[in-house]
Amino acid sequence: MRLFGLLSIAFILVTAIVAIPAGRVYAAQDASPVTAGTGGALYTFDSGPDGFNTKTFFYDTGSEVVAFDAQFTPELAEKAIAYLQTESENPITYVVVTHPNPDKFNGISAFQDAGAEVITSEATAAAMPGVQDYKKAFFVGNGMFTDETYPELGTVDETFSDTMTLELSDGKTVELSELSEPGVSSTQTVAFIPEMNALIVGDLVHHTMHAWLEGGIVDGQATPTLDGWIADLRELESTFGADPEPTVYGGRGDPAPLSEAVAAQIAYLEQADQIVTDYLAGLGDRTSELTGEKAGEHYAAIQTEIADAFPGYEFADMIGFSVYGLVNSKL
């Protein structure tokens, strides 16, 4: 990340996190569990603004639980686990990390302490150390953590390549698949739960919420690939489209039918990309300001334009946190 860009979004991030109104917090205890008869139940924990409104999903078979994504800190992971324990007495046997962003893997130690085995794709496990270094430098540099308080990089217990089926109690399963393109990060896993007709996709979908536009961290650089993200969304339709179609559960936002979630996310990404392209064109020979002291002003202006284009969407600050990656990819 360029230094001026880092400092600019650091200021935006710190001020926005403390300024998010309480009414925009998605309280986990208010979320009704999704049930499917003998198929089990699906519970949702939402971190609220302390963890970027990140969701952890819990699939309870009736005798064991599989968790999806481990939150931004071990403390938030402990809150997620405590929430589950108000709903179920069954043990967490696995936690699946859908992609290598810190709000998905920083909390894995808390799940391991609770007895869960951490599962990721080989590509996600390989990417985690580089993401850890990049994000630790950012969050320590902006004063949100110290070297001592930033979460340590955890250890993955089991990896897979391409696909993996978790064989659970009572014959239930969770089907893990790597998608073909990077998606929101540098690699993407999705999980299909046949008994629930539920598709867990991490931040590949932010239904009715603004998206994280930074891109994956590759060789120490933010590397957005919106074309790849859109290709992954289309892959969801071609792979999991059925009648009845599954419900998509994204890392942020509301659940939605597969076709609706895919169409809305593609429309969002295409329009956000065009807004950024047009904004840069409008700067003309002033694009150097995007790597200088005025970068924060420009990110805020882009945030406003995208937010205005999607007035019903929540958490517009996500744009300001992350759009530097998309901007820099076009310079």
**Domain parsing of the chain, residue ranges:** 3-329
- CB atoms inside a 10 Å sphere around CB 241: 12
Q: What is residue 32's predicted lDDT score, i.e. its pLDDT?
A: 67
- CB atoms inside a 10 Å sphere around CB 155: 11
Instruction: Please say whether the beta carbons of 224 and 325 come within 8 A.
Output: yes
Q: What is residue 170's predicted lDDT score, i.e. its pLDDT?
A: 86
Q: What is residue 35's predicted lDDT score, i.e. its pLDDT?
A: 77
Tens of pLDDT, residue by residue, the chain (331 residues) = 343 344 344 434 443 333 333 333 334 444 567 877 788 999 999 999 889 999 999 999 999 999 999 999 999 999 999 999 999 999 999 999 999 999 999 999 999 999 999 999 999 999 999 999 999 999 999 999 999 999 999 999 999 999 999 999 889 999 999 999 999 999 999 999 999 999 999 999 999 999 999 999 999 999 999 999 999 999 999 999 999 999 999 999 999 999 999 999 999 999 999 999 999 999 999 999 998 999 999 999 999 999 999 999 999 999 999 999 999 999 9
Q: Which of 162, 170, 218, 169 is nearest to 190 (CA)?
A: 162
Q: What is residue 88's predicted lDDT score, i.e. its pLDDT?
A: 96
Q: What is residue 23's predicted lDDT score, i.e. its pLDDT?
A: 31
Phi, psi angle pair for 105, to nearest 5°: -125, -10
Alpha-carbon gap, residue 208 to 172, rounded angstroms: 31
Instruction: Please say whether the beta carbons of 142 and 104 come within 8 A.
Output: no
Q: What is residue 269's predicted lDDT score, i.e. its pLDDT?
A: 99
CATH value of 3-329 in 3.30.830.10, 2.40.40.20, 3.40.50.1370, 3.60.15.10: 3.60.15.10
Q: Which one-letter DSSP state was computed for residue 74?
A: H
Q: What is residue 31's predicted lDDT score, i.e. its pLDDT?
A: 58
Give whole-number Cα distances, 137 to 73, 131, 170, 257, in Å.
16, 10, 45, 38
Alpha-carbon gap, residue 33 to 210, rounded angstroms: 24
**Helix or strand holding residue 208 (H, E):** none
Residue position matching structure tokens 């969801």:
236
| Burial class (CB within 10 angstroms; exposed 0-12, middle 13-18, buried 19+) of 265 | buried
Alpha-carbon gap, residue 222 to 211, rounded angstroms: 15
In the numeric block, which tokens belong to residue 87? 């709903």
